[in-house]
Amino acid sequence: MPRTLSYITHLQIRFSDCDPLKIVWHGNYVKYFEDGREAFGKAFDFTYLEIYSKNGLSVPLVHLEMDYKRPVSFGETISIEAKMVDDPAAKIVFEYVIRNSANQVLCTGKTIQAFVQIEKNELQITMPAFFEAWKNKFLK
Amino acid sequence: MPRTLSYITHLQIRFSDCDPLKIVWHGNYVKYFEDGREAFGKAFDFTYLEIYSKNGLSVPLVHLEMDYKRPVSFGETISIEAKMVDDPAAKIVFEYVIRNSANQVLCTGKTIQAFVQIEKNELQITMPAFFEAWKNKFLK
Amino acid sequence: MPRTLSYITHLQIRFSDCDPLKIVWHGNYVKYFEDGREAFGKAFDFTYLEIYSKNGLSVPLVHLEMDYKRPVSFGETISIEAKMVDDPAAKIVFEYVIRNSANQVLCTGKTIQAFVQIEKNELQITMPAFFEAWKNKFLK
Amino acid sequence: MPRTLSYITHLQIRFSDCDPLKIVWHGNYVKYFEDGREAFGKAFDFTYLEIYSKNGLSVPLVHLEMDYKRPVSFGETISIEAKMVDDPAAKIVFEYVIRNSANQVLCTGKTIQAFVQIEKNELQITMPAFFEAWKNKFLK
């Protein structure tokens, strides 16, 4: 079993996130995944601004997948669970579960991010030292 | 080999679709996939408005996946290829390839849509007759 | 002096709300105004869902204006003040001030919403009774 | 009468631009204004990328206003007229009219952009020479 670490944040659905079917438009879940990663990063000292400025790396998404289980509408509150999953490659892997206030699953998904050396604009294929150290401290 | 049908549309990247890394934010590709489906539908007489009004069905996404290969920036023109792939199940399956003006692949992906009977708010698990007929006319 | 009522909510700037100049894209302030109205409504029992369901009215925007004073970037926290301003006409008038965490003004603005009778799809030009009652209870 | 110059572009309304009232969400008109400016710039050799790279200036919005006259829905085609209006100050002033395919006015508006010297991050209060020259060539 790979080591993992989870964080859950909450969000209230905006009117403007909903489509003519009166449910959240599917593309807006990408923002919710981003919110999940962001809240995870704040909670566990793993923020993009730090990764940029201290390590000269950007972390673009290379893969995204989502499965939609159930719709959600304006005014409801959702929970976003972002779970980092350890991976031997130089990649940041997150899995997500989004639930409504009755704890029913709305959407599950996964993202994979790569490390890019900003100055050279090159993919870094070896594990960055800061990330290895961070994982050893936080993942269980 | 499943029967397929492709359509290619073009789009110019908006300033507001780009993020602080000066490239299209990954979540905006979901809109480009939608644009691809929409252009496909207009070209081949397969539009959501018709599916709604004539057949009482909505076609929510149940699955989305994307692989990002290469970034693209403000002002560039991209092509969006949406290819419908025949599937024995009562699902609409599209595969996508997005390319820049040098014909380099930026992003590939896939969506799966289910049929929902709007009045009952129930998943339809048998193939809708109109879709079978449409496929027999258009897919090769 | 017209009667007024204010509410302040807070929000953390998303990466995807920022543009290639590394600041919030100006159009996203419209969402922040919406967030301000929404938080105001929750605080003071004035929500669109209630206005729809209990009074059969929708409240579309008929006017929006914004003045941009200072940019703001990813990761910063902003405050959104939404102030309802009493108006003798059958309109909902809000003024806004958005500030950064140093309390500097980023953006000011105003929206005007009209009342539309959903069933007739007609503008209501007389003051709705529920709104008059609400204003007498809350505005000072 | 100030000198002016107009350009009209067209756009088909996206499903994801529409809200639970089945009409374009008001905030999305800001993107349509941007599309109007962008098409104007391409037509008349006045693009932001050129202004940045050749003149070291960015042109942030400092004011935006919109009046909403009539809703529009998914699938309809709109026209966006962007009219530059001459102004003695060092500002770019555009007025907009958005119409549906029956030529009915949906929305009117105005934006004002200032010139900022990117390197100093300072507002430029004198008219940039390139803009004066451009206006003398194009505005009538």
D67 touches C at CB < 8 Å: yes
When computed from its CA atoms, the radius of gyration of chain C, rounded to whole angstroms, is: 16
Residue B36 has pLDDT above 90, yes or no: yes
Taking contacts as CB-CB distances below 8 angstroms, the residues of chain B near C18 are: 19-20
Which structural domain, as residue segments, surrounds residue A118? 4-138
C62 within a domain of the structure (yes/no): yes
- What does the block give as tokens for A115? 């490390």
C14 within a domain of the structure (yes/no): yes
Alpha-carbon dihedral B37, B42, B45, B49, rounded to 10 degrees = 80
Residue of D38, D139, D49 lying closest to D96 (CA atoms): D38
State the average pLDDT over residues C2-18.
97
C126 burial type by CB count under 10 A (0-12 exposed, 13-18 middle, 19+ buried): exposed
User: Distance (Å, rounded) from C-alpha A3 to C-alpha D92?
Assistant: 55
Beta bridge partners of C58: C116
The upper half-sphere exposure of residue B43, i.e. CA atoms within 13 Å in the direction of its Cβ, equals 16
Q: How many beta-carbon pairs below 8 A join chains A and B?
A: 50
Residue with tokens 């698990």: B125
Lowest mean pLDDT among A28-37, A77-86, D48-57: D48-57
Give the per-residue pLDDT at D50: 81
Give the phi and the psi of residue B119 in degrees, each rounded to 5.
-65, -45
State the average pLDDT over residues C54-66.
94
When computed from its CA atoms, the radius of gyration of chain B, rounded to whole angstroms, is: 16
Give the per-residue pLDDT at D136: 96
B48 touches C at CB < 8 Å: no
Q: If DSSP codes are grouped into helix, strand and coil, which group holds residue D125?
A: coil
Residue of C33, A34, C52 lying closest to D27 (CA atoms): C33
Going by the DSSP 8-state scheme, the letter that residue C71 receives in this structure is -
State the average pLDDT over residues A101-112.
98
The secondary structure of A104-127 as a DSSP string is -EEEEEEEEEEEEETTTTEEE-SP
**Which residue of B lies nearest to A62 if distances are taken between CA atoms?**
B68
Chains that touch B (3 or more CB pairs under 8 A): A, C, D
Residue B52 has pLDDT above 90, yes or no: no
Q: If DSSP codes are grouped into helix, strand and coil, which group holds residue B95?
A: strand
Chains that touch C (3 or more CB pairs under 8 A): A, B, D
Going by the DSSP 8-state scheme, the letter that residue A17 receives in this structure is G
C49 within a domain of the structure (yes/no): yes
User: Distance (Å, rounded) from C-alpha B127 to C-alpha B119?
Assistant: 17
Residues 6+ apart with CB under 8 A from B96: B32, B33, B36, B80, B81, B82, B83, B107, B108, B109, B110, B111
D104 within a domain of the structure (yes/no): yes
3-state DSSP: chain B helix, strand, coil percent, rounded to 5? 30, 40, 35
**Partner-chain contact A75 C49, CB within 8 Å:** yes
D138 within a domain of the structure (yes/no): no
Beta bridge partners of D77: D12
Residue B51 has pLDDT above 90, yes or no: no
CATH of residue D16: 3.10.129.10
Domain tally, chain A = 1
**Partner-chain contact C49 A14, CB within 8 Å:** no
Name the pTM for this structure: 0.95
User: Distance (Å, rounded) from C-alpha D140 to C-alpha B71?
Assistant: 40
Confidence of residue A51 (pLDDT cuts 50, 70, 90): confident
Q: Report the residue from B12, B31, B49 with minimal CB separation from D16.
A: B31
